[in-house]
A and B are shown apart, each in its own frame.
Chain A
C-alpha cells in the first residue's frame, strides 16, 4: 500500500505529457521496425508462394536441377542451397577462429598504441565495397589458390569462403574486441590475485564471461557472409550444379537471385521461383538466429548479460 501511494505522488509531479510523448514515439519506432519486417516476409510469401503449386516444397528444396529456361522448366534449388551452405560454413570456419583470436590479442595483449591503430585499420576494412573484395579475390587470390592446390580453376567454394571470411573479419574483430574490453576489470584482478597467469585469466575468465557477446559477434559476421552477393558472384565459379567438395564451383542463393532476376517476367513462374529462393534464404537466416539464441543462453541461467 505504501508503495502505491509513493508511485502516485511521483507520477503527479512528473510532466506527464512529455513522458507520454517520448514513450509513444519510442513505441512507434519500435512498432514500425517490426511491421516492416513482417511486411517484407509477407511480400516474399505473396510473390513466391505461386511456385509451390508448380513444384512441391519438397522438390523445390531437394530437387537437384535448376533449369529455368528449359521446357518444361525445372526448379530444384538444392545446388543453390548447398552452394550457400558450403560458402557460409567455409567462411565461418575461417573467419570466427581468426577473428576472435585477433580480438583477444587486441583486447588483452596488444600495447594500447598498437591496439588503437590496428582497430582503426580493421574498422576501415569494413567500409570497402564488396565488389572490390570480389575483384581482389578474382585477380590475386584465385590465381594463387590455383597454383597452390593445382586446380584447373580456382573459382570455387573454397576461394569464395576465403573472400567472405576476409569480408566478415572486420565485423567479428571489432565487436569481439568491444565485448572483451567490457568484461569488468574486477574479474581479471580477482583471477590474477589468486595466482593465475594473464593467459589463464584470459582463457578461463575473460572469454567465458564474454561468451554471449562473442557468439553475437560471430553471428553478425556470418550474417554478412550468407547475405553477401556481389563478391561470391565473382569468385565462386557460378555453376549451378551440386557441389561435392569445397573445390567445386558453386552458385549461392543470393548470387542466383541477382544473376537471374533481370531475365524474368514480372509474376511469371521463374520470377516466383526466385522469390521462393528468397523465402528459403529468409528461413535459413531465421534458423541461424534461433540457434544463436539457444547457444547464447546460459546453462546455469546466469545473467551474464548484466555484466557485458
Chain B
C-alpha cells in the first residue's frame, strides 16, 4: 500500500508549550490509521496539522513537514483552502449547520462553484448514500438538520465532507458523543469508506481502534511512542508503555 501522507519531524507549539515533539509518521493510502493515547497526548493536535486546521487556533506554531502525495502542505505556495478540499475533517461533536439537510451537504460543492440544481441534487444523493444516511432522510431533505439524532447528524457531517470529494478524511473521536448502536453504524461506514478514501481517526476507545483500523499510532505526552500494524500493536507491542496503555494500566 502506498503512503498518502507523511509527517517528518513535526513539532507543534501553542505559544511556548510544546504539544507535539518531532513526530514522523506515515499515513497509508486506502487504510484506516488510528491515533490512540490518553487525553492531552497530542493526537488531536496531530490530526489538525494534517489539514492545517491547526492554524485556526491562535498562537499555534508548526515546525517540520507534512507531505501529501510527496508535497509539503505547509509550503507557502499551498492554499489551505485548496488543501482542505482534499483533506476533509469530521469533528468530535456532530456539527451540522443550522440549515436543511440538503443545504448542509450542498454547502461544500456550492462554495466551490457548483450552482446547477440537478448536479447539486446528484451530489447530495450520492454523498448521503455513501454515508449510509440516504434511506433515513430522503423524504425530509428540506427539513432542519438539527432535527436529526446525534448518530444521524454525525453521518450527515460525513456526507458533507464526502460531497467535496476529498482524498483523505480526518476524524476526531467521531463516535464519542454517540450511543452504541450509532457507533456500530459509524464503524461499518468507516469500513466501507476506506475502499475509496484514506482515513485517520482519533479515538479514546481501544476496542474501536482494534476493530476498525489497519494501523495504529500510540501517542504519549506529545511524542509518538509506537506505530505499527494494528494487530501487532494490540498483540505484541515493542514498547512497554504501549503495552501498559492498551492493557489499561494507565490513561
Write the residues of chain A forming the contact surface with B, with a CB cutoff of 8 angstroms. 184, 186-197, 200, 204-205, 208-209, 300-304, 306-307
Decide if B160 is an interface residue (CB 8 Å cutoff): yes
- Cβ of B164 and Cβ of A194 under 8 Å apart? yes
B93 & A197 in contact (Cβ 8 Å cutoff): no
Q: B74-85 vs A: 1/0 string, CB under 8 Å? A: 000000011111
A204 touches B53 (CB 8 A): no
A194 vs B81: C-alpha distance when bound (angstroms): 8
Are B97 and A190 neighbours in the complex by a CB distance under 8 Å?
yes
Interface string of B161-186 (1 = CB under 8 A from A): 10010000000000000000000000
Partner of B111, one of A196, A303, A306: A196
Which B-chain residue is minimally distant from A193 (CB atoms)?
Answer: B89
Q: Which of B's residues lie within 8 Å of A, judged by CB?
A: 51, 53, 56, 81-85, 88-89, 91, 93, 95, 97-100, 107-108, 111-112, 142-144, 146, 157, 160-161, 164
Q: Are A189 and B98 in contact (CB under 8 A)?
A: no
Q: Could you tell me the distance between the alpha carbons of A6 and B85 in the complex, rounded to whole angstroms?
A: 51
Q: List 19 A-B contacts (CB under 8 A).
A: A186-B95, A187-B97, A188-B56, A190-B160, A191-B107, A192-B84, A193-B84, A193-B88, A193-B91, A194-B108, A194-B161, A195-B81, A195-B83, A196-B108, A209-B97, A300-B100, A302-B99, A303-B146, A304-B98
A307 contacts B98, C-beta separation under 8 Å: yes
Q: How far is the CB of B126 from chain A (nearest CB, A)?
A: 16
Within 8 Å CB of B100, what residues of A? 300
CA–CA, A184 and B160, complex, Å? 18
Measured between C-beta atoms, what is the minimum distance from B66 to chain A in Å? 16
Q: Do B144 and A300 touch across chains, with their CB atoms under 8 A apart?
A: yes
Q: How far, in Å, is B80 (CB) from chain A's closest CB?
A: 8
B85–A195 touching, CB < 8 Å: yes
Across the interface, name the chain A residue whose C-beta is closest to B89: A193
In order of increasing CB-CB distance, the 8 nearest A-B pairs are A186-B95, A193-B89, A195-B85, A302-B144, A195-B84, A194-B108, A190-B95, A196-B111
Q: How far is the CB of A179 from chain B (nearest CB, A)?
A: 14
> Shortest distance in angstroms between A45's beta carbon and chain B's nearest beta carbon?
42
Q: Which residues of A contact B97 (CB under 8 A)?
A: 187, 190-191, 205, 209
Chain B residues with CB under 8 Å of A187's CB are 95, 97-98
With the chains together, A209 CA to B112 CA distance in Å? 21
Residue on A with the closest CB to B160? A194
Q: How far is the CA of A215 from the CA of B55 in the complex (A)?
A: 32
A195:B98 contact, CB within 8 angstroms:
no
Q: How far, in whole Å, are A271 and B242 apart by their CA atoms in the complex?
A: 88
A303 to B147, alpha carbons, bound, how many Å?
A: 9
Interface centre among B91, B97, B98 (most CB of A within 10 A): B98
Q: Are A197 and B81 in contact (CB under 8 A)?
A: yes
What residues on A are CB-neighbors of B89 within 8 Å? 193
Shortest beta-carbon distance from B157 to chain A in Å: 7
Q: Which residues of B contact A301 (CB under 8 A)?
A: 144
